[in-house]
Amino acid sequence: MSVLKIGNWIQHIPKDWMLKLVSLGIAIVLWYFVGGEDIVNKNVMVPVEVINLPRDLVISNQFKKEIEVSISGPRSLVLDIGNQGLSRQVDLAEATPGTMVLENSNDVINVPRGVKVLRIQPKSVILSLDKMIQKQFQVEPVTVGVLAPDFILKEIRMEPDSISITGPQTVLSQYDVLRTKPIDITGMRGSTQIQIPLELDQAIVDLIGATTITADLDIAVETVQKKISNLLVEVKKNGLLQRVSPATVSITVALPKTLIRNKVDLHTLFSVTAVAEKNDGQMQVKVVPVREFENPIRVLRIEPQVVTLIEEAGKEQPAAEVPAEE
C-alpha cells in the first residue's frame, strides 16, 4: 500500500476513533511503565500538620504528631512516597475552645495517582483547644535545715520575684505561685547569694522550660533587747572628771544572744560620755561599745539624752585651798 493510499485511508477514519486510538496508545504505555510493575504495600509515618490556628487559641493536650498510613501501589511509586511531602493537614480556622475529634479517613491523605491508602492509625486525632492567657506568678522560696545557733534568716529576696507566663487558661488557672526547689540553709552563719531552680510541674516546664532564679539570703545574728540602767556618765575637762546631772543614764540596746547566754556584765560593754554642743551647760550623751564585736551591738535608746554640767563654785580659785594648808 502506498503512502498516498494510507493517507487517504486515515482521512476517512472518524475523528472520535482517532482520539480512541491515541488514548489506547497512552494506556498501553502507562501499563508498560506502571501497570506492569509489582504491586507492593508499605507503612509510612505521615506528620500531622496544624494550620490556621487562631491567635487567641492554643492546643493544650499532647497529641500524636505523626500517624501511620498503610499504602498500596506500584513499586516505583511506593518507594518514592517519602519524597512526596505527604502530611495530614488539620485546618483550625473555624475552631473554638473545647475538644475536637478529627476522623482519619483514607481520603485525608493526598497520595499520588496510582497509590491507594489502605488504613490509617490512629483512627482519629483528638485536640483540646483552650484560650491563650497571660498570668503573673510570684516566686516563693522554700528552705530546709537550720541555721547555725544564734543566727536568724531575716529575709530572702528573689530575682526575679515574679514571672509572667503565657499559656492555656485551664493549665495556668491551676497554679497561684511558683516555688523554688528546697534551699538548704543548714549551718549557715552569714548572708549569701545562690542560684536555685524552680520546682515546676511538667505542664509549666512545657511553657517556659527549666528555670533558675537568684536567691539573696539575708542572715544575721539573733539579737535581744535589753535595758541597762545606772551607767555612769564620764565627762572630763582639762583632764579632770566633771560632775553632771543626772550622773547616770539608762540605755536600751540590741545585743547578740550569745552575750546574754554567756552572762557577760553588760555595764562593762559601753563607754558613756557627754559633749557640749553649745555654751549653755547642756551636754549630749554619747554611748559607744568599748570595743569592736564580731556581731555589732546597736544602741536603740538613751534616757535621758541630755545632762547638765555642774560648775562647782570656787573650784579653781586659790582661796579654796587655804583650809588644806592649815
CA pseudo-torsion sign 137, 143, 148, 151? positive
User: Which residue among 96, 131, 166 closes a domain?
Assistant: 131
Please indicate, yes or no, if residue 254 is contained in any of the structural domains: yes
Same-domain status, 30 and 42: no
Same-domain status, 123 and 193: no
Q: What type of residue is 244?
A: V
255 lies in which domain range?
223-310
User: What's the total number of domains in the chain?
Assistant: 4
Given the C-alpha cell 570595743, which residue does it identify?
A: 291
Strands (E), 111-247: 116-121, 124-140, 143-144, 151-159, 162-168, 177-180, 183-184, 192-199, 212-221, 223-232, 235-237, 240-245
Question: Is the distance from CB of 46 to CB of 116 less than 8 angstroms?
Answer: no
User: Which residue among 221, 249, 267 closes a domain?
Assistant: 221
DSSP 57-83: EEE-S---SEEEEEEEEEHHHHHTGGG
- Give the pLDDT mean for 265-276: 91
In order of 27, 89, 137, 159, 224, the CA distances from 204 in angstroms are 60, 28, 12, 19, 44
Same-domain status, 217 and 227: no
Give CA–CA dist 215/56, Å, rounded: 35
Instruction: At 189, list the grid cell.
Output: 552563719
Same-domain status, 46 and 123: yes
- Give the pLDDT mean for 9-16: 56
Please indicate, yes or no, if residue 322 is contained in any of the structural domains: no
Evaluate if residue 16 carries a pLDDT over 80. no
- Give the pLDDT mean for 27-45: 70
Least confident segment among 23-32, 146-155, 169-178: 23-32
Evaluate if residue 183 carries a pLDDT over 80. yes
Please indicate, yes or no, if residue 318 is contained in any of the structural domains: no
Band of residue 278 on the pLDDT scale cut at 50, 70, 90: confident
For residue 322, what pLDDT is reported? 34
Q: In CATH, what number is assigned to the domain containing residue 288? A: 2.170.120.30
Q: Give the DSSP H/E element, type plus range, for residue 260.
A: helix 257-261
For residue 314, what pLDDT is reported? 42
Evaluate if residue 84 carries a pLDDT over 70. yes
Give CA–CA dist 196/185, Å, rounded: 13
Band of residue 160 on the pLDDT scale cut at 50, 70, 90: very high
Please indicate, yes or no, if residue 251 is contained in any of the structural domains: yes
pLDDT tens figures, 212-232: 999 999 998 888 999 999 999
For residue 32, what pLDDT is reported? 55
- What is the pLDDT of the chain when averaged over all its residues? 85
Give CA–CA dist 266/83, Å, rounded: 89
User: Which residue among 67, 96, 131 closes a domain?
Assistant: 131
pLDDT tens figures, 281-293: 799 999 999 888 7
Instruction: At 231, list the grid cell.
Output: 551607767
Least confident segment among 27-36, 185-194, 235-244: 27-36
Least confident segment among 93-102, 212-221, 273-282, 295-304: 273-282
Same-domain status, 189 and 213: yes
- Give the pLDDT mean for 76-99: 88
For residue 221, what pLDDT is reported? 87
CB atoms within 10 A of CB 282: 13
